[in-house]
Amino acid sequence: MNKVAVSLPLTLVILGCKLLIVPPVLGQAVPGHNPVLKKNGIKKAQQIVDSENTAVKQIKPINEVSTRNQYLRPSSVINFKSNSLSNSNLIPITLGSQLSSGNSESKVKEIPVNGKLQAQIKQYNQPPDSVDPYKRNGLPSNRLGDRVIDVNQLEDVTPDHWAYEALRNLVEKYRCLNGSGARNFNGNRAMTRYEFAAGLNTCLLRIRRSLDSLNNKFSSQEDLATLKRLQAEFAEELAAIQTKIEAQDRQISFLEKRNFSPTTILRGQVDFLAASVFGGSKPVSSGESPTEDLDSNVTFAGRVALNLDTSFTGKDLLRTRLEAGSINGLGSSVTGTAMTQIAGGTNTGNNVRLGKLFYRFPLGDKTLVYLAAARQSSSDFVPVLNPASTISVFGFYNPIYDLGFGAGGGVYYQLTDEIGVGLTYYTGSNDNPEPGKGLFNGDYTALGQITFTPSDRLGIVFSYAHYYSPQPGSTNNITSFTGSQFAQLPFGANTATSSDNFNIAASYQISDRLKVGGWLGYFHAVAESSSSSLNNGFNVSQGSDADIWTWAFTASLSDLGKLGSSLNFIFGMPPKLTDNDISGRRDADTSYHIELSYKYPITERVFVTPGFFVITNPEHNAKNDTIWVGVLRTTFNF
């Protein structure tokens, strides 16, 4: 049964209409002494505070924006990750856009989420032209066509109430009561003259319709005289309300005429980024000694991304992203190691390309289906549980989520309020019909994940992914271009390789402002073919295996210095090849990644993020000099 209530306490309207003894404003109760208002108001306020102070409150990314740690990729996965224009809203549970990361690089609001899939779907996207303009701002509908309620449906107005007959008369004779959200009349609540005028205006409009109809129920000239006196008494307030309504109608008409699509919303982001690398020499792999100096030059470039978000049913989402940029990712081609890669290194030569293309839709109340045609990975669909924003590629999440990159899809099912299950499949050779390529015969990654949220402050995920590539050097490699060269290609670039990959990650909100998280990952790689020294410089026997480990601790302190800011810290070990059947191809030492960044909001849509990170023993080789990377990013959201 639909819940009903009255948008205004029209008991005072009744008194004014029938008695005209005391002006309505003199009958107001003192808000502080109103037990109904005090009880409901405190309860509602507490709900709002609780929703804002949960551990999953923006820990990407999926209605902005509360965002996840990802953004764009060029032709390879290495430059994909960033902190903005995320898809956090795509996750069908609380952790979807909240626990999946704490980044709020963008304040463009996308999709609010809550703990239940059904509620999130309902809240997602309503095409602007299909929504009651009064409800667009969360207000009760003021349309004359709203259902008129029965007084018997009001829980706080019983037949023995002194105002019962007056209310029933309003319904039966004037049809002035309409339903909105609760089953209470709240007749004792204090009101302003404007509120009274708004209620009177609603009644006058309904009465006018009744007078114009053939079956109107007005038979008393006394009623009409009463209405005229009320109109005169509240003429100023009624005129103000009418002027406001007319202004809103003009604005709505203006926007509708200039809306380029009734089903599509355009959002965008522009980044300007200055970065530099400092160090003594270019790192080399374990067992070697560096010989080449590392040149230090400051770079400055930018990128732009436009998201076209389309909904056909109000519950689905078709996203098309166009992107362009010239930001160098500062990867191995520049520094000699992938450990120095910065987030958001989009380099298309400033040519526009398709950055994302996917469609998401619900099946029932507990299931979401996700289909991707270009440049996607599992991190776009399942929670990754990183509360911290990052300026590096390593700092996003366990690389298990990006092992498959390209086209594919997934299904997410909410078993209970606390447990959700996700399955994804992605490949990078989906559009290639050659043998050993295509959607199922080339490189691929299949991932399964269980997300457990025992409380509003804690989230835990358990993930497993199976990876295969016939030539990992030409596709996405085992650690998705993070970590050491040995970890990325334990058996070389041309040896067919598979791996079983495991991940456990968690995020916990210690206080309203402090959130922490982390992950631990293990990769067991197997050589699926033999390879000779002619191709790789070493011999590989089919069945050889290798072990790779990675971990990180992350933290985010929000509202430090200014509301909306965040101080982010990341400490961890990039993927390291700890054991290998191939002699001489193992990381002997240990690298550590130490990162600190501070996101500061200049305005609601402009952010400045300075930061740096340090790599000790790059390439897990103690012979290499420590490398420093500094970044200054300015972000504009629109």
Whether the per-residue pLDDT at 4 is higher than 50: the answer is no
Question: Minimal CA–CA distance to 383: which of 459, 319, 446?
Answer: 459
The pLDDT, as a whole number, for residue 21 is 35
Mean pLDDT over residues 600-626, rounded?
97
Report d(CA 247, CA 558) in Å as an integer: 39
Alpha-carbon distances of 435 from 429, 442, 494, 621, rounded to whole Å: 11, 8, 16, 39
Distances (CA, A) of 28 to 11, 63, 195, 418, 543: 11, 40, 12, 45, 83
Residue 475 has pLDDT above 70, yes or no: yes
Taking only the tens place, the pLDDT of each residue in 528-553 is 998 765 556 788 899 999 999 999 99
> Phi-psi bin for 115: left (phi > 0), alpha (psi -120 to 50), beta?
alpha
- Say which DSSP state 260 is in: S
Q: Cα separation of 578 and 581, whole Å?
A: 11
370-426 pLDDT per residue, tens: 999 988 999 989 999 999 999 999 999 999 999 988 899 999 999 999 999 999 999
Structure tokens at 545: 């295996």
Q: In this predicted structure, what is the pLDDT of residue 532?
A: 66
233 vs 372 pLDDT, higher one: 372
Q: How far apart are CA 506 and CA 458, in angstroms?
A: 7
Confidence at residue 107, expressed as pLDDT on a 0 to 100 scale: 33
Joined tokens for residue 95: 């952790």
Domain ranges of the chain: 1-33+134-262, 264-637
**Residue 251 has what pLDDT?**
85
Query: What pLDDT does 120 receive?
Result: 36
User: What pLDDT is stored for residue 156 in this prediction?
Assistant: 64
298 burial (CB, 10 Å; 0-12 / 13-18 / 19+) is: exposed
Q: What integer best gives the mean pLDDT of the chain? A: 76
Angle between helices 221-233 and 193-212 (to 10 degrees): 140
Q: Which of 628, 623, 626 has the alpha carbon at shortest distance from 284?
A: 623
Burial of 543 (0-12, 13-18, 19+ CB in 10 A): exposed
- Read off the pLDDT of each residue in 110-129 and give the average, rounded to a whole number: 36
pLDDT the model gives residue 317: 95
Q: List the single range of 44-53, 279-288, 442-451 with lowest mean pLDDT.
A: 44-53
Confidence check: pLDDT of 356 > 50: yes
Average pLDDT over residues 128-157: 44
pTM of structure = 0.67
According to DSSP, the β-strands at 627-637 and 514-527 are unpaired
User: Is a pLDDT exceeding 70 seen at residue 169?
Assistant: no
Residue range 205-232: average pLDDT? Answer: 64
Residues 421, 415: contact at Cβ < 8 Å? Answer: yes
The mean pLDDT value for 608-619 works out to 98
Q: What was the pLDDT predicted at 338? A: 96
Indicate the residue type of 372: A
Residue 546's DSSP bridge partners are 525, 580
Q: Which segments of 506-636 does DSSP mark as H helices, in order?
A: 533-536
Q: For residue 510, name the pLDDT band (cuts at 50, 70, 90).
A: very high
Does the pLDDT at position 114 exceed 80? Answer: no
Q: Are 372 and 379 in contact (CB under 8 A)?
A: no
Query: With 90 as the cut, is the pLDDT of residue 217 above it?
Result: no
What's the confidence (pLDDT) of residue 616?
Answer: 97
Q: Which fold has domain 264-637?
A: Porin (2.40.160)
Q: Is the pLDDT assigned to residue 197 strictly greater than 70?
A: yes
Residue carrying the six token digits 């002699």:
583
- Least confidently predicted of 227-231, 309-313, 482-486, 548-552: 227-231
Query: For 83-106, what is the mean pLDDT?
Result: 40
Whether the CB-CB separation of 238 and 245 falls below 8 Å is answered with no
Do 106 and 64 touch, CB atoms closer than 8 A?
yes
Q: If pLDDT is split at 50, 70 and 90, which confidence band does 157 have?
A: low
Residue 437 has a pLDDT of 73
Mean pLDDT of 165-182: 58
In this prediction, residue 500 has a pLDDT band, given cuts at 50, 70 and 90, of very high
Among 179-193, 323-337, 378-392, which stretch is predicted with the lowest mean pLDDT?
A: 179-193
Candidates 487, 454, 492, 455; CA nearest to 471 is 492
Q: Which helix (H) or strand (E) holds 374?
A: strand 367-376
Write the DSSP assignment of 600-625 as a string of letters. Answer: EESSSSEEEEEEEEEEESGGG-TTSP
- Helix H or strand E encompassing 236: helix 235-257
